[in-house]
Structure 1
Amino acid sequence: MPTNKTCHGFADAVSDIPDGASIMVGGFGGAGGLPFRLLTALRDHGARRLTIISNTAGVSMVTGFGWPKGEKPIDHSILFENGQVARFIGTYPVPGSVSLRNAFQAAFDRKEVALELVPQGTFVERIRAGGAGIPAFFTPTAAGTRLAEGKEVRTFDGRACVMERALRADFAFVRAAVADTLGNLMYVGSSRAFNPAMATAADITIAEVDRIVPPGKIDPERVGTPGVYVDRVVARSA
C-alpha cells in the first residue's frame, strides 16, 4: 500500500480511466460534497461510454441548487453535454420543474443515454452492500411498482419485498474537507452525503479535498473514511 497517495493534479488523478468505466460520484446535488473538479478533469480526459452512479444527474447548472450566489455551478451535466455518458444510475436525474431541462434529459430524449432509476434509500443501501461484500438484499420499497418489474419478489412477515443487487463501480469520485497523505478523510457537515458509502464500493477511490495534511494531523475520531478505502487524494489547490 502506498505511503503517500497524493496526486500532483486532477488530470493525473483521472488519467487512467478507460472508455466504458463505471464511476460513482459523491455529493447530494449542490456544491457541498460534489467533487466537481474531478468531473471537470474527467470531461477534459475524454473517456466515453461511461456509467455514472450518483444521486443526481446534474441539476445545479440549470437551477443553481446548492451553490453560493455569484459562483457558476458545475455538475455532472458537463459529461452529458460532452456525450461521454452511456448509462446513468441514480435517484434524481432531472430538475423538479418541467420548465427546466438539464443536459441529462436532453441526452435521454435523444436516446443517447440509458436510465436506471432507484429510490434514494435503496440507492444508498445498494452502494453500502457493495462495499460490505453483500451481493443482494430484500426491501419493501418499490414492491408493486414499475421499479420492481423483472426483479425477484418474496414475502416476509406479510410484506412483499423486492430483491435489489449491490452496486459497485470501477472508480469513485468523493469529496472531503481534509485528507492526510495516507488517504484518511475528514468530512464537514452535510457534505458527507453519499461520499463515505461510495468510497467503500469502488475498485479505485479518488478523493478531491480542500487540503492535505501529514499523517497524525486528523483526529482519529473525525476520520469519516479510513485510508484503506482511498487510493488517490488530490488537493483543490493542485
Structure 2
Amino acid sequence: MDKVVASAADAVADIGDGASLAVGGFGLCGVPTLLISALHARGAAGLTVVSNNCGLDGRGLGQLLAAGRIARAMGSYVGANKEFARQYLAGEIEVELMPQGTLAERLRAGGAGIAAFFTPAGVGTLVADGGLPWRYAPDGTVAVASPAKEVREFGGREYVLEEGITTDFALVRAAVGDRHGNLVFHRAARNFNPLAAMAGRVTLAEVERLVEPGEIDPDAVHLPGVFVQRVVELTPEQAADKPIETRTLREGGDA
C-alpha cells in the first residue's frame, strides 16, 4: 500500500513518447511543477496533454511546450502563453478548445467510468456544429477542424453530447498526502487536480507534506488513494516555489 517513490524521475520513468497526460492546475496554481520538470528531463515527446491551459512561457507545461514535446493539447484557455499561441497559429500543435465546465466534466466522467454525457454548454456554436480549428496549415488555412457532435432535445431544451476523457497518466499536486495516496488540496489548488487524477489510468501526485496513513481525517480527504498510484514528496524548497502569475498593486495607500 505504500505508494511513495524515491524521486520524481522514478515516478515518470515509464512515460514514453506518444503518451497522453491529464495535468492538474490552473495558470500557475496547483501545477505539478516537479513532475513536469522530471518529464521534461526524461525527454518524452509527441505527448497529448489535457489541462485547463499550458502554463506560462517557461513555467509548468510551458517547459514541455517550448521544447516541442506536446503534439496535441486539450483545454479551455490559451491565455498569456505566447509560445502556445504561436505554435497553434503556426500549425505546429493541434489544439482542442472547449468550455471550461465541459473540460472539467469530461475529466470527471472519464474517471467515473461514464462514456459520455449531454450538456447545454456549446449548443448553437461551433463546439456543437463543428468547424473549430484544431490545427492550422502553414498558410493560415484550417488543416483540421472539429467534427459536428450529436445534439438531442430533453425537456424542450437542446443538449450536445460530450465524451468522457481518460489518459495514460495524470500528474497532480496536493498540499498533503499520505503513503496510501489519499490527498488534500489547498483552496484554489483544488481546481482541476482531483478531476485530472481521476482521469489518469496511472496517477502521479507530488505532495508538499507527506504524512502517515491515518493522519488525515477521512472527512478531510479530497481525493481517495484509490485514484493515486505514485506519490512523490517535495522538499520544503520545492513546496515553497509558487510563482505568482499576475501581480496587481494598488497605487498609493498602505502596502
Bin the TM-score by the shorter chain.
Answer: 0.7 to 0.9
State the alpha-carbon separation in 2 of the partners of residues 84 and 230 from structure 1.
25
2:42 matched to 1:42? no
Per-residue CA deviation, residues 204-235 of structure 1 (Å, 9 max, x unaligned), is 00001112111111111111111111000001
The equivalent of 2:111 in structure 1 is 131
Q: Give 3-state SS (helix, strand or coil) of 1:56's partner.
A: coil
Structure 2, gaps ≥5 residues long:
131-147, 239-255
Unpaired stretches in structure 1, ≥5 consecutive residues: 62-72, 96-100
List structure 1 segments (4+ residues) > 2 angstroms apart after TM superposition: none
Q: SS in structure 2 opposite 1:94?
A: coil
1:124 and 1:194 in contact (8 A); partners too: yes
1:78-117 alpha-carbon deviations (Å, 9 max, x no partner)? 111101000000001232xxxxx52211222331210100
The amino acid that maps onto 1:58 is: G
State the 1:132 CA deviation: 1.0
Contact 1:58 1:102 in 2 (8 A): no
Query: Whole-Å Cα distance in 2 between the matches of residues 213 and 75 of structure 1?
Result: 26
Q: Which residue number in structure 1 is paired with residue 94 of structure 2?
A: 114
CA distance in 2, matches of 1:88, 1:154: 28
- C-alpha separation between the residues in 2 aligned to 1:115 and 1:164? 17
Q: 3-state DSSP class of the match of 2:84?
A: helix
Instruction: State how many pairs are aligned.
Output: 218
Q: Partners in 2 of 1:80 and 1:94 — Cα distance?
A: 14
1: distance between equivalents of 2:5 and 2:91?
36
Deviation of 1:144 after TM superposition, in Å, equals 1.0
* 1:85-164 correspondence runs (5 A): 85-95=70-80, 102-148=82-128, 149=130, 150-164=148-162
TM-score under structure 2 normalisation?
A: 0.82
d(CA) in 2 for partners of 1:11, 1:106: 30
Equivalent residue number for residue 51 of structure 2: 54
Which amino acid in structure 2 is aligned with residue 45 of structure 1?
R
1:77, 1:102 within 8 Å by CA — same for their partners in 2? no
State how far apart, in whole Å, the 1-side matches of 2:155 and 2:101 are: 21
Distance in 1, Cα, partners of 2:62 & 2:25? 14
CA distance in 2, matches of 1:146, 1:182: 43
Q: What is the match of residue 67 of structure 1?
A: none
2:78 and 2:39 map into 1 onto residues whose CA distance is: 19
Larger radius of gyration: 2
Separation in 2, partners of 1:165, 1:114: 18
State the superposition RMSD in angstroms. 1.3
Given the alignment, which residue of 76, 91, 98 partners 2:61?
76
- Percent identity over the alignment? 48
Q: Distance in 1 between matches of 2:222 and 2:99?
A: 24
**2:101 aligns to what SS in structure 1?**
helix
CA distance in 2, matches of 1:49, 1:227: 29
2:165: which partner in 1?
Answer: 167
1:146-198 residue CA offsets vs partner (Å, 9 max, x unmatched): 11121011111222211000011111111101111111111111111111112
- Aligned-partner Cα distance in 2 for 1:184–1:134: 23
